[in-house]
Structure 1
Amino acid sequence: MKKLSFIVFLALTTFAWSQNSNKTIDKRKSADKVLLVQNDTGELEAKKKAAAEEKAKLPKPYDPKADAQADINKLIEQAQKEEKNIMIQAGGNWCIWCLRFNQYVQTTPELKEIVDENYLYYHLNYSPDNKNEKVFDQYGNPGDKFGYPVFIVLDKNGKMIHVQQSDVLEEGKGYSLDKVKEFFLQWTSKS
């Protein structure tokens, strides 16, 4: 009976120790999860801050106060005279990828030259201030499908000939020179 009591005592002691040990491990796992969440939150906040700083430095080409339809009508008249297509970059000053694309084209001489020679370029605003719903409706609301920026190519007569989502033009944290160049060259009036 003493042996049995001793075995039961050992078993209970071992069980109690393992339960306590499991609680310690669980506490460590919980603490690790809290640290991971805090670290992820910290990284997320740092990324948000960096994006906000980048966005603040980039030019803001979208004008929420513009009469987009009137502007596009004038571009169509000009496009007919100059035999160019119209490139509409739809988005807003709130969209970092929209601002990055604009900056990329403006600061990449090869791309800027293609655009200037072949297109009349327009930044169509979409923002809480002005969603330009009537204008977007006539082009099938491509931002709803593809996000922003989205590109709408019009021929010289104002007929929509192509809609291009932008994510396929991306590379890393920016845009691919080859993909953007190919896109621009594909939809010129000379193509």
Structure 2
Amino acid sequence: MNAVITSEQLPLYSKIFDDQRDPFKDAVAAIELAKKTDRNVLLKIGGNWCSWCKKMDAFLTENPDIYQSLHSEFVLLKINVSDSNENTEFMNGLPPVLGYPHMYVSTSAGKMVLSKDTAEFLNSGEYSREQWITFIDQWKADSTKNL
């Protein structure tokens, strides 16, 4: 793994759900960064209202090895979906959301390779380290080149 990645080094679109951000511009920026750094893009759909989104962020903070691996292998793009801004036009271009948070994996070429119900990360009502480690390994850029 490369140097330690801190929150301060991440683009704003990787850190917060913001109903004022343009998801199309953020997606273009995330894909450009993914191309430059040989990573896939991980789209996380949710919002500040979403308790499971907050639990996922807390899980990643409490598991720094998984946090580092996630940000080393993916450009994280948080897309806000809320009463104040459903980002309907952007969301209509994606497969249906099954619940929140919902995740998609895109290659750096913009090809969608996965729609993921994040309930699959749970074990006994908590996010599972094993599920996250498997997910990162299975869907990182090196593993999806031939899809």
Tell me which interval the TM-score lies in, with the shorter structure as reference length. Answer: 0.7 to 0.9
Aligned counterpart, 2:126: 174
Partner residue of 2:26 out of 47, 52, 71: 71
Shift of 1:184: 1.6
Gaps of 5+ in 2: 1-14
From the two aligned structures, give the one with the greater strand fraction: 2
| Structure 1 CA distance for aligned equivalents of residues 120 and 114 of structure 2 | 15
Aligned counterpart, 1:123: 78
2:58 counterpart of 1:106:
no
| Structure 2 CA distance for aligned equivalents of residues 65 and 90 of structure 1 | 15
2:35 counterpart of 1:80:
yes
Structural mapping, 1:131-170, within 5 Å: 131-140=86-95, 142-143=96-97, 146-170=98-122
| Structure 2 CA distance for aligned equivalents of residues 113 and 124 of structure 1 | 21
| Structure 2 CA distance for aligned equivalents of residues 106 and 190 of structure 1 | 25
Question: TM-score normalized by structure 1?
Answer: 0.64
Sequence identity, in percent? 27
- Kindly report the root-mean-square deviation, in angstroms, between the aligned alpha carbons of the 2 structures: 1.3
Contact 1:91 1:123 in 2 (8 A): yes
Task: Render the CA deviation track for 1:69-124: whole Å, top value 9, x for unaligned.
Answer: 10011111111111110001101111101111122113311211111211100111
Runs of 4+ in 1 over 3 A off after TM superposition: none
Aligned counterpart, 2:46: 91
Question: TM-score normalized by structure 2?
Answer: 0.83
Gaps of 5+ in 1: 1-59
RCO comparison, higher one (Cα < 8 Å, 6+): 2
Contact 1:153 1:161 in 2 (8 A): yes
From the two aligned structures, give the one with the greater helix fraction: 1
